[in-house]
Amino acid sequence: MAAAAERVAGGAPAGYTALAVKFGPRQRSPHCLLVKEHRVREGPGAAHPPRRTLFVLNVPPYCGRESLSRLFFSCGPVQSVDICDKPEIGEKTETLKSKFFNLKTTKGFRVAYVVFRSPAGVQAAKALSQRGPLLISTESHPVKTGISKWITSYAASVVDREELKAEVDAFMQDYDKQIAEEEAKAVEEEGVPDEEGWVKVTRKGRKPGLPRTEAANLRVLERERRKRARKELLNFYAWQHRETKREHIAQLRKKFEEDKQRIALMRAQRKFRPY
């Protein structure tokens, strides 16, 4: 096993170290995880601090956060594990994670950021390439597959109303707080010129836009309802439709006869008068 791991490590890309892993003891061919110390050019960040973050490539779909944490637990205490679809450009911003909204199902192979509590964990993780293949699913910590995995996924998809209500209330409180801060900032900056001397003009001036009152909205809705009712009742019954067509044809015939008489009168009045 050590010889196989050495052969794999020798074929790793520049800067990476290959770690041989297996799903279980019955699997014959190992899978390779490519690891290296995570470094960013934009500067240190709180989510993935330098010297303590291990960047992992080629993470299989069946290897989750708990599995990666167990794989590298022998190297030192693991602070956090983040799994993404693709490498992040720069440091990610801290956002509120939701349990019910904006959930993304990642498919295929992914990348991971394993943050240790000490820099020694990164070096110890890179030294695992000298050992045999690591097991992702063990007897003490099995990875669920097949029916058991589907049952667990379905149970996790059932929404707890109390947790959902608490999350929505917390989100709305943060939103109201943000709106209040923006309004207070707008009030402070109102009428104050910017660097170029321009003053921002808003609707909250001397003559702000007057919104429609409830009575005006009701009048508009009633007018639209009457107009729609007239359109719907016009030619509602079949006999009304037939009578309308018959009256239209009669008017056309009457106009045709009048036009014929007018033409005949004009022809009779046409006489040759040389003098």
pLDDT per residue as tens digits for the range 231-266: 666 666 677 778 888 899 999 999 999 999 988 888
Q: What is the 3-state secondary structure (H, E, C) of the chain?
A: CHHHHHHHHHCCCCCCEEEEEECCCCCCCCEEEEEEECCCCCCCCCCCCCCCEEEEEEECCCCCHHHHHHHCHHHCCEEEEEEECCCCCCCCCCCCCCCCCCCCCCCCCEEEEEEECCCHHHHHHHHHHHCCCEECCCCCCCCCCHHHHHHHHHHHHCCCHHHHHHHHHHHHHHHHHHHHHHHHHHHHHCCCCCCCCCCCCCCCCCCCCCCCCHHHHHHHHHHHHHHHHHHHHCCCCHHHHHHHHHHHHHHHHHHHHHHHHHHHHHHHCCCCCCC
- Say if residues 36 and 55 touch (Cβ distance below 8 Å): yes
The whole-model pTM stands at 0.53
pLDDT tens string 147-205: 888 888 888 778 888 888 888 899 899 999 999 998 888 777 776 777 777 776 665 55
Q: In whole angstroms, give the CA distance from residue 115 to residue 54.
A: 6
Q: How confident is the model at residue 102 (pLDDT cuts 50, 70, 90)?
A: low
What CATH number is given to the structural domain containing 65? 3.30.70.330
**144, 217: one domain:** no
Q: How confident is the model at residue 1 (pLDDT cuts 50, 70, 90)?
A: very low
Q: In whole angstroms, give the CA distance from residue 15 to residue 17.
A: 7
Determine which of 1-5, 53-57, 59-63, 146-150 has the lowest per-residue pLDDT on average.
1-5
| Average per-residue pLDDT for the chain | 79
**38, 87: one domain:** yes
**173, 207: one domain:** yes
**219, 257: one domain:** no
Percent of the chain topping pLDDT 90: 11
Percent of the chain topping pLDDT 70: 77
Residue 157 lies inside a defined structural domain of this protein: no
pLDDT attached to residue 227: 80
**211, 125: one domain:** no
**29, 115: one domain:** yes
Q: Which of 13-17, 90-94, 189-193, 248-252 is most confident? A: 248-252
For residue 208, pLDDT beyond 60: no
User: Which structural domain, as residue segments, surrounds residue 181?
Assistant: 169-192+199-232
Residue 184 lies inside a defined structural domain of this protein: yes
Residue with the bigger pLDDT between 96 and 202: it is 202
On the CB side of 160, how many CA atoms lie within 13 Å of its CA? 7
**24, 143: one domain:** yes
Q: In whole angstroms, give the CA distance from residue 228 to residue 189.
A: 48
Q: What are the CA-CA distances from residue 252 to residues 116, 238, 257 (Å)?
A: 92, 22, 9
**254, 228: one domain:** no
**128, 220: one domain:** no
pLDDT tens string 113-138: 999 999 898 899 888 888 878 888 88
Q: In whole angstroms, give the CA distance from residue 85 to residue 117.
A: 24
Residue 78 lies inside a defined structural domain of this protein: yes
pLDDT attached to residue 13: 78
Q: In whole angstroms, give the CA distance from residue 188 to residue 11.
A: 62
**174, 93: one domain:** no
Q: In whole angstroms, give the CA distance from residue 183 to residue 185.
A: 5
Residue 179 lies inside a defined structural domain of this protein: yes
Residue 5 lies inside a defined structural domain of this protein: no
**176, 249: one domain:** no
| Number of structural domains in the chain | 3
Q: In whole angstroms, give the CA distance from residue 27 to residue 137.
A: 11
pLDDT attached to residue 251: 93
**78-84: strand order across its sheet:** 78-84, 110-116, 53-59, 31-37, 17-22, 134-135
- Say if residues 98 and 63 touch (Cβ distance below 8 Å): no
